[in-house]
Amino acid sequence: MNYTATITWQKQPAEEFEKGRYSRVHQWAFDGGMKIAASSSPTVVPVPMSDASLIDPEEAFLASLSSCHLLFFLSIAAKKKLIIEKYEDHVQGTMGENEDGKMAMLTATLNPVIIFSGENRPSAETIRQIHELAHASCYIANSVKTKIEIITN
């Protein structure tokens, strides 16, 4: 399986690129036609060279981890005949220096809140087990060094 995206940035005429005075706003385009405006994080490159209203790579990384976990969690729950009405995750990440002295996303904490319905309600232990299976199955989690924690209630 192969996946693609096209990332495009264009220098604006008045920008002083060689002096580092240029916008970091760029576009992500995906195979299904979706286009997303992106920027560097304003915590990394200050405004006005970054646009805080746009998605940045660090946020996208966390969203990717959370989304992958969500999709596997839903699949496993459905196979167990559980009904999920809503799944919402407020994922948080911590950047810092890794063991190689490089900046990296050191931790990602998933904080999913899941609303079940129907007669077949899972126990806290069953929910924990589904999270473990989802984490072990997640392609993105299996691809990174980031320590990933899942908070279950």
Backbone angles phi, psi at 90, to 5 degrees: -105, 85
Same domain flag for 83 and 121: yes
Same domain flag for 93 and 40: no
Same domain flag for 70 and 129: yes
If one counts every other C-beta atom within 10 angstroms of the C-beta of residue 152, the result is: 15
Quick: pLDDT tens for 141-153: 999 999 999 998 7
Whether 23 has a pLDDT exceeding 80, the answer reads: yes
Same domain flag for 22 and 81: no
Strands 35-38 and 26-30: antiparallel
Please, which residues have CB within 8 angstroms of residue 53's CB and are 6 or more apart in sequence?
none
Same domain flag for 48 and 91: no
Radius of gyration for the chain, computed over Cα atoms and rounded to the nearest angstrom: 19
Amino acid of residue 45 = V
Quick: pLDDT tens for 42-101: 999 999 999 999 999 999 999 999 999 999 999 999 999 999 999 999 999 999 999 999
Same domain flag for 62 and 37: no
Same domain flag for 82 and 15: no
Domain that holds residue 24: 1-55
Same domain flag for 67 and 139: yes
Work out the percent of the chain whose per-residue pLDDT is above 70: 100
Q: What is the number of helices (H) and of strands (E) in the chain?
A: 2, 8
User: Across the chain, what does the average pLDDT equal?
Assistant: 96
Domains identified in the chain, total number: 2
Same domain flag for 143 and 85: yes
Cβ 47 vs Cβ 56: under 8 Å: no
Cβ 152 vs Cβ 127: under 8 Å: yes
If one counts every other C-beta atom within 10 angstroms of the C-beta of residue 100, the result is: 7
Same domain flag for 63 and 95: yes
